Amino acid sequence: MHIPFCLRKCLYCDFYSEGCDDAELRKAYTEALLGEIAHYGHKYGKALKADTIFFGGGTPSLMEPELIDSIIKALRKAFTVSDNAEITMECNPATLTADKLMGYRAAGVNRLSIGSQSFDDEVLAALGRIHKASDIEDTVKAARAAGFDNISLDLMFAVPKQGMDKWRESLEKALSLHPEHLSFYSLEIAEGTPFGKMYQAGTLEETPIEEDRRMYHYALDRIEEAGYVHYEISNACLPGREARHNLKYWNLSDYLGLGPSAHSYIGGERHSNAANLAEYIKVGGVGCIEESYINDLDDDAVEYTFTALRTKDGVSFENFRDKFGQEFWEFHASAKKEFEGFVQGGYAIEDDKHIALTRKGIDISNKIMALFV
Amino acid sequence: MTNKDKDYQKYIRNFSIIAHIDHGKSTLADRLIETTGLVQSRDMKAQYLDNMDLERERGITIKLQTTRLAYKGQDGNEYILNLIDTPGHVDFNYEVSRSLAACEGAVLVVDATQGVEAQTLANVYLALDEDLEILPCLNKIDLASARPDETKQEIEEVIGIDASEAPLISAKEGLGIGELLEEIVKVIPEPTGDPDGKLKALIFDSKYDSYKGVIIYTRIIDGKVKKGDVIRLMNTGKKYEVTEVGFCAPGPVPADVISAGEVGYICGSIKQVSDARVGDTITLDNDPTEEALPGYKKAQSMVYCGIYPAEGEKYETVKDALEKLQVNDAAFNFEPETSTALGFGFRCGFLGLLHMEIIVERLEREFDLAVITTSPSVIYKVVKQDGTVEMIQNPTNLPPQTEIAHIEEPMVKADIMIPKEYVGAIMELCQDRRGRMIHMEYITETRVQLHYEMPLNEVIYDFFDALKSKTRGYGSLDYEFIRYERSNVVKMDILLNRDLVDAFSMIVHESKAYARGRFVCEKLKTIIPMHQFEVPIQAAIGQKVIARETVKAFRKDVIAKCYGGDISRKKKLLEKQKEGKKRMRQFGTVEVPQEAFTAVLKYDENK
């Protein structure tokens, strides 16, 4: 579920969102979303089984709890949503109150992904975030009080004005809040964003690669020491607390994306909605697909390979055989020789059951994944 | 036109349009063709747009086109206007001058919003050299920023011709075209050749046609020529039987005869354009004129470089393509050569760097071939200890230092025309390029001509670009070879991970070697991707390393984000990465992207 509203766009963000100071607009948007849900409800009906729901953004926590409630209800009505479904909502610490949190919890949201990004006000300001470090702690406390027992914190590193010391401090503060899950991203300067423009104009400096990687590996060491499992390139969790929803992206499961700019992979077809809120509302959420592509088995095999390589477990040859009816190294014969070079260099591991990236390999994962596309 | 009126030449006007880039020459040509209505506008487009991407992008005309227009004058007479188009770059100055030599006048188009600019002037001087009558006109008069009065004044002051009567036109909007046509008839003199004299005709262009063989575009000065005549090309001495003559409209329209004063084409089963070289004089074999027309020059390659197929197995395809290009381009030549780094390829000769770029782009666009070009080089004269002389156009073939007595490099006489405020900057530029000033003169109060002697090696890289950028586009350049001169040039090699890559070797002046070595190393550092190991890049003269950079071993190439389920985006990225890898050449253990070879050619000295 894409919620395309933001109070203010962060300087690095290249996801689709619009400003939103208007309860009417949020309501109208919810109506359109319900329209799209009903549309797919007709198409797939109860045969479509979901065990995760994810509200991403934008800033889903700008939505009134009643609106979230009506969306979840509509989803449950249209599809078969399991009772113990993981229902995650992304939120911005500056947008939450105890009441709102209780409202979301009552609506059925049971997992929060908090866009904390940093526990340093200067770094937060540099990123163009609208919240302060103290908001994060308040939010986590309020969320716990509201009954959330599955919380994820997002953290960013290799950010301007950060440096190793502040990164360490942020990490410690995050750990002190005992989140069940942690995501940690190095800053990517994307074209078209304010950061992208600043970078081109020479007013924004990229963190040197060495420093970036020092920060990353420091975090992995520290997180593992604190008992977290590093299960995907940018994600770690307490045992058993993997983000079930995100894992679907990496193991070729179906997912239905709703809202402007949302991406789906369902029934072997990838499609995406146009990133146009006004149009989406105008047509009531139906007929906004902008691009679609039907994967053949080879596409699937390729995508499965490079996405699974993001995970700790890597690609299991048995799973690959089950899904695609072919031996992994038969399908990827042309990549074998070079991949072996990476194994020898300590960038990847390989046995007769699977391949996976090592920590060192994660640093250059694109190079290795590109062998398989 | 078998029964020609005795006065037929009275109703012919042969002219070119000359202009600075973007002042509207092509638009005006199109408009004239359209207005006179000789060809359907559809055909005209086909003619004018064919293979013209390159010219459009670069804002230059490379290939000439000739069109015959029918115009009914206000005096009630039918006139034939022959429009002879000209290319617009210093590499092709010779072709421009021959085209102008086929005319009696030139329409000088000046953009009324821009005023007189460098090429305007360079072309005007070429036209004046050929004693042409110049008819100025002001274009883009429909724009709010047009300043016709100032522009007229500029034309008068800078060029020194009367512009008071210059037609005000807008080629784009079709304004003032009628008036301009009338002026062409009035101002440009009629041809005055002797149709009964001995045949004397000028080749101002030629192109290859797969059915007719070479089509010679010609201006008949005296006499006439018809099908069945045996013509002789006076400079090459070759003879051909004429199979067809005709006019250009702009496609060929056969005629019985073409006579003095007329512009048309001749075919004679000629196999290669180099057999009918621009500037040559056509006469009849059995009744030849005594004197050839002045100004003939043999095509001379000034710049050489290696061209290699990006994929080795395409060697034959590249060879076929080069042969086809050569058939249509007298100034281009090639022969096979081998590089240890790049395998089998060709050493190719060009008029200049632009000419080289054009050939390479045509290979890529018209023949869909990916090629790698090596550093361009001039021809060095190497005098060996034993007294023998070798002409070297490939740095790799330079004999060992111990065998060389001395090396000589080609020098050119460079004429540079600039507004006076840039004199300081350009003198500095020339000095930096090892130029010797011979003379400097004021052409007008505001314009200066500098005469330099310079090594050709320094001119070919990007001198023209530097001149343009340092004079805001107002500078113009003409150069010609004068002699060989002794020079302290050395061969500089590039080593990647300690292996010499011969395709990067170049001959440079000793005084420039360090800077150039540093530049190439720095450039390669930004282009060569990171490997699993460190890659040292070294520039060396003999055993001596003069510059070094290192590409660090790779450390990071990872996408942190998952893009909210947008797998396609990530897939595209990985596909791009894989595609990029395919375009790499493997040198020993090092992968080098193909663009590295072109990137080291552009020497940006402002850095």
| Helical spans, DSSP H, in B76-156 | 93-101, 118-129, 148-154
Rounded to whole angstroms, the Cα distance separating A139 from A112 reads 10
Phi, psi of B77 (to 5 degrees): -85, 150
**What is the pLDDT, as a whole number, of residue B3?**
43
**What is the pLDDT, as a whole number, of residue B89?**
64
Is B557 within 8 Å of A307 when comparing Cβ atoms?
no
DSSP A19: E
Q: Which residues of B touch A257 (CB under 8 A)?
A: 564-565
Cis? peptide before B105, omega within 30° of 0? no
CB atoms inside a 10 Å sphere around CB B490: 19
Phi, psi of B586 (to 5 degrees): -95, 120
Residue owning tokens 């036209």: B127
Nearest 5°: CA angle at B436, between B435 and B442?
105
Q: Do A80 and A215 share a domain, yes or no?
A: yes
Q: Do A202 and A93 share a domain, yes or no?
A: yes
Residue owning tokens 């070297």: B392
Q: Do A145 and A240 share a domain, yes or no?
A: yes
Is B577 within 8 Å of A212 when comparing Cβ atoms?
no
Number of domains in chain A: 2
Residues of A with CB under 8 A from a CB of B: 2, 15, 56, 184-186, 188, 209-210, 212-213, 233-234, 246, 249-250, 255, 257, 262-265, 270, 272, 291, 293, 302-303, 306-307, 310, 341, 345, 362-367, 369-371, 373
**What is the pLDDT, as a whole number, of residue B266?**
96
Chains A–B, number of C-beta pairs less than 8 Å apart: 91
**What is the pLDDT, as a whole number, of residue A18?**
87
Q: Which one, of A145, A139, A137, lies nearest residue A95 by Cα?
A: A139
Rounded to whole angstroms, the Cα distance separating B456 from B513 reads 16
Rounded to whole angstroms, the Cα distance separating B436 from B451 reads 9
Cα of B594 to nearest chain A Cα, Å = 19
Q: Going by C-beta distance under 8 Å and a sequence separation of 6 or more, which residues neighbour residue B497?
A: B533, B535, B536, B588, B589, B590
Q: What is the 3-state secondary structure (H, E, C) of B537-566?
A: EEEEECCEEEEEEEECCCCCCCCCCCHHHC
Rounded to whole angstroms, the Cα distance separating B544 from B542 reads 6
Q: Which residues of B touch A52 (CB under 8 A)?
A: none
Q: What is the CATH number of the domain that holds A153?
A: 3.20.20.70
Q: Which residues of B touch A250 (CB under 8 A)?
A: 562
CB–CB of B143/B113 below 8 Å? yes
Residue owning tokens 């890049």: B537
CB–CB of B104/B15 below 8 Å? yes
B144 shares contact with chain A (CB less than 8 Å)? no
Q: Which residues of B touch A302 (CB under 8 A)?
A: 571
Q: Which one, of B501, B479, B488, lies nearest residue B600 by Cα?
A: B501
Q: Do A225 and A315 share a domain, yes or no?
A: no
Domain span at residue A343 reads: 297-372
Is A56 within 8 Å of B556 when comparing Cβ atoms?
no
Is A263 within 8 Å of B556 when comparing Cβ atoms?
no
**What is the pLDDT, as a whole number, of residue A157?**
94
Q: Which one, of A170, A52, A171, A60, lies nearest residue A110 by Cα?
A: A52
**What is the pLDDT, as a whole number, of residue B22?**
67
Q: Which residues of A touch B574 (CB under 8 A)?
A: 306, 366, 369-370, 373
Within a domain: A73: yes
Identify residue B300 by its one-letter amino acid code.
Q
For residue A196, CA distances in Å to A4, A16, A199, B577 come to 21, 16, 5, 21
How far from each other are the two terminal CA atoms of chain B, in whole angstroms? 63
Within a domain: A64: yes
Within a domain: A217: yes
CB–CB of B320/B366 below 8 Å? no
Within a domain: A89: yes
Kindly report the pTM of this predicted structure.
Answer: 0.57
Rounded to whole angstroms, the Cα distance separating B266 from B388 reads 45
Within a domain: A287: no
Is A188 within 8 Å of B560 when comparing Cβ atoms?
yes
Phi, psi of B113 (to 5 degrees): -95, -15
Rounded to whole angstroms, the Cα distance separating A5 from A90 reads 12
DSSP B296: -
Among residues A220, A250, A280, which one ends one of the domains? Answer: A250
B435-454: pLDDT as tens digits = 999 999 887 777 788 999 99
The two tokens of residue B412 are 């050119």
Rounded to whole angstroms, the Cα distance separating B120 from B343 reads 45
Q: Do A176 and A302 share a domain, yes or no?
A: no
Q: Which residues of B touch A291 (CB under 8 A)?
A: 568
Q: What is the CATH number of the domain that holds A306?
A: 1.10.10.920
B564 shares contact with chain A (CB less than 8 Å)? yes
Q: Which residues of A touch B568 (CB under 8 A)?
A: 263, 270, 272, 291, 293
Upper half-sphere CA count for residue B211 (Cβ side, 13 Å): 2
Pairing of strands A263-266, A269-273: antiparallel
Phi, psi of A35 (to 5 degrees): -60, -45
Mean pLDDT for back-to-back runs of 10 residues, chain B (607 residues): 68 90 77 72 41 49 71 92 78 81 94 78 82 94 92 86 92 91 95 94 88 92 96 92 91 91 94 86 94 81 87 86 83 88 90 82 85 88 94 90 93 88 95 94 82 91 83 79 93 92 90 92 89 88 92 75 72 81 75 80 56
A155-209: pLDDT as tens digits = 999 998 899 999 999 999 999 999 999 999 999 888 888 998 998 888 888 888 8
Concatenated DSSP letters of B465-512: HHHHHHTTT--EEEEEEEEEEEE-EEEEEEEETTEE-GGG-EEEEHHH
Q: Which one, of A19, A17, A33, lies nearest residue A285 by Cα?
A: A33
Is A270 within 8 Å of B567 when comparing Cβ atoms?
yes
Rounded to whole angstroms, the Cα distance separating B13 from B583 reads 53
Q: Which residues of A touch B570 (CB under 8 A)?
A: 306-307
B440 shares contact with chain A (CB less than 8 Å)? no
B579 shares contact with chain A (CB less than 8 Å)? no
Candidates A113, A157, A211, A249: best to mutate against B (most CBs of B within 10 A) is: A249
Residue owning tokens 């070094």: B548
Rounded to whole angstroms, the Cα distance separating B558 from B370 reads 30
Rounded to whole angstroms, the Cα distance separating A245 from A199 reads 33
CB–CB of A319/A302 below 8 Å? no
Within a domain: A102: yes
How far from each other are the two terminal CA atoms of chain A, in whole angstroms? 29
ipTM for the complex? 0.81
| Max CA separation in chain A (angstroms) | 60
Upper half-sphere CA count for residue B63 (Cβ side, 13 Å): 21
**Least CA distance to A345: which residue of chain B?**
B532
CB atoms inside a 10 Å sphere around CB A209: 17
A246-275: pLDDT as tens digits = 889 888 899 999 999 999 999 889 999 999
Q: Going by C-beta distance under 8 Å and a sequence separation of 6 or more, which residues neighbour residue A322?
A: none
Within a domain: A195: yes
**Least CA distance to B557: which residue of chain A?**
A364
Q: Do A170 and A308 share a domain, yes or no?
A: no
CB–CB of A157/A187 below 8 Å? yes
Tens of pLDDT along chain A (373 residues)?
999 999 888 999 888 888 877 889 999 999 999 999 999 999 999 999 999 999 998 899 999 999 999 999 999 999 999 999 999 999 999 999 999 999 999 999 999 999 999 999 999 999 999 999 999 999 999 999 999 999 999 999 999 889 999 999 999 999 999 999 999 999 988 888 899 899 888 888 888 888 999 999 999 999 999 999 999 999 999 999 999 998 898 888 999 999 999 999 998 899 999 999 999 999 999 989 998 999 899 999 999 999 999 999 999 999 999 999 999 999 999 899 889 988 988 999 999 999 999 999 999 898 899 999 9
Q: Do A221 and A319 share a domain, yes or no?
A: no
Among residues A250, A275, A306, which one ends one of the domains? Answer: A250
Is A365 within 8 Å of B562 when comparing Cβ atoms?
no
C-alpha torsion sign, points B232, B237, B243, B244: negative
- At residue B525, the 3 state secondary structure works out as helix
Of residues B555, B561, B577, nearest to A188 (C-beta): B561
Is A371 within 8 Å of B577 when comparing Cβ atoms?
no
Q: Do A31 and A94 share a domain, yes or no?
A: yes
Q: Do A343 and A210 share a domain, yes or no?
A: no
For residue B512, CA distances in Å to B303, B493, B507, B576, B605 come to 19, 14, 10, 38, 11
Q: Do A172 and A307 share a domain, yes or no?
A: no
Within a domain: A12: yes
**What is the pLDDT, as a whole number, of residue B52?**
47
Q: B539 - beta bridge partners?
A: B494, B547
**Least CA distance to A209: which residue of chain B?**
B556
Rounded to whole angstroms, the Cα distance separating A202 from A192 reads 15
Rounded to whole angstroms, the Cα distance separating A363 from A213 reads 7
Among residues A219, A250, A281, which one ends one of the domains? Answer: A250
Q: Do A183 and A323 share a domain, yes or no?
A: no
Q: Do A226 and A322 share a domain, yes or no?
A: no
B573 shares contact with chain A (CB less than 8 Å)? yes
